[in-house]
């Protein structure tokens, strides 16, 4: 069960698991994100990669608010310099407990389908400073999921796969290209136009731009 957002990272996870021989089911959560263009991207990526099943589940976290990604009245921070580094502190684009919610939903879906594992494209090297992307969180979550599920109690706990955890964004981008991920279709931008065009200045765009430049430098 792969959490597929429509962004680069989760698409790379899905492609890698399919290449490794897994039968991949994908879950996309439509949580009321400002960048709803990523939902359309997720559908196209799922079709392009050939997943077994793709479910888009609406869960309106915008009803809670508290984030620039779910509350239109909070602006997404942008830098004038499209290659400016991303700050280390937790930004206003943090969505309260998002990965806790996404992983919980993925575990529910995974258990209902009898899946062996749940995969998520977190990485803690080039990221936006979100606490729920860190390996210590994922480890603690896996333990909670083991204790709180039938499969965990009856002997086959869900494995939590984070294949990108230690990769830089440039390494992820290189891997995505090698795996044939439709990179141009992925939407990482936090504030794209309605048509899905990236803003080029938000944290996610700058992380992607810096990764592209790094790969060009190596080429």
Q: Give the binding site for a copy of itself (CB under 8 A).
A: 55, 57-61, 63-67, 90, 94-101, 103-105, 107-113, 131-132, 134, 136-137, 140-141, 143-150, 152-154
**Helix intervals (H) in the chain:** 8-19, 37-49, 98-113, 135-147, 150-153, 169-179, 203-218
Residue 58 or 180: the one with the smaller Cβ distance to a copy of itself is 58
Nearest to 101 by CA among 156, 152, 62: 62
Spatial contact of 126 and 10, defined as CB atoms under 8 Å apart? no
Q: How far is the CB of 12 from a copy of itself (least distance, A)?
A: 22
Q: How far is the CB of 185 from a copy of itself (least distance, A)?
A: 25
Residue 13 or 122: the one with the smaller Cβ distance to a copy of itself is 122
Q: How far is the CB of 134 from a copy of itself (least distance, A)?
A: 7
Core vs surface per residue 141-172: b (16+ CB within 10 A) or e:
bbeebeeebebbeeeebbebbbbbbebbbbbb
Rounded CA gap, 121 and 18, in Å?
14
Residue 57 or 117: the one with the smaller Cβ distance to a copy of itself is 57
Q: How far is the CB of 10 from a copy of itself (least distance, A)?
A: 17
Residue 132 or 203: the one with the smaller Cβ distance to a copy of itself is 132
Residue 157 or 196: the one with the smaller Cβ distance to a copy of itself is 157
Q: How far is the CB of 149 from a copy of itself (least distance, A)?
A: 5
For residue 104, give Cα distances in angstroms to 9, 158, 214: 19, 11, 35
Residue 27 or 189: the one with the smaller Cβ distance to a copy of itself is 27
Residue 41 C-alpha from the chain's centroid: 12
Q: How far is the CB of 146 from a copy of itself (least distance, A)?
A: 8
Count Cα neighbours of 116 within 13 Å in the Cβ-side half-sphere. 5
Radius of gyration of the chain (CA): 17
């Amino acid at each position: 069960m792969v959490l597929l957002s429509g962004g680069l990272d989760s698409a790379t996870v899905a492609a890698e698991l399919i290449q490794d021989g897994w039968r991949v089911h994908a879950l996309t959560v439509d949580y009321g994100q400002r960048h709803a263009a990523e939902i359309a991207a997720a559908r196209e990526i799922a079709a392009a990669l050939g997943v077994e099943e793709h479910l888009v589940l609406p869960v309106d976290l915008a009803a809670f608010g508290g984030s620039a990604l779910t509350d239109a009245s909070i602006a997404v921070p942008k830098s004038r310099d499209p290659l400016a580094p991303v700050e280390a502190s937790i930004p206003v684009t943090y969505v309260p407990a998002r990965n806790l919610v996404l992983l919980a939903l993925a575990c529910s879906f995974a258990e209902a389908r009898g899946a062996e594992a749940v995969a998520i494209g977190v990485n803690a090297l080039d990221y936006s400073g979100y606490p729920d992307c860190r390996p210590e969180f994922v480890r603690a979550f896996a333990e909670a999921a083991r204790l709180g599920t039938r499969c965990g109690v009856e002997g086959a706990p869900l494995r939590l796969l984070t294949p990108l955890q230690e990769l830089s964004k440039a390494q992820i981008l290189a891997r995505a290209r090698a795996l044939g991920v439709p990179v141009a279709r992925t939407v990482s931008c936090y504030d794209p136009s309605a048509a899905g065009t990236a803003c080029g200045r938000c944290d996610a765009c700058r992380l992607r731009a810096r990764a592209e430049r790094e790969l060009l430098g190596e080429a």
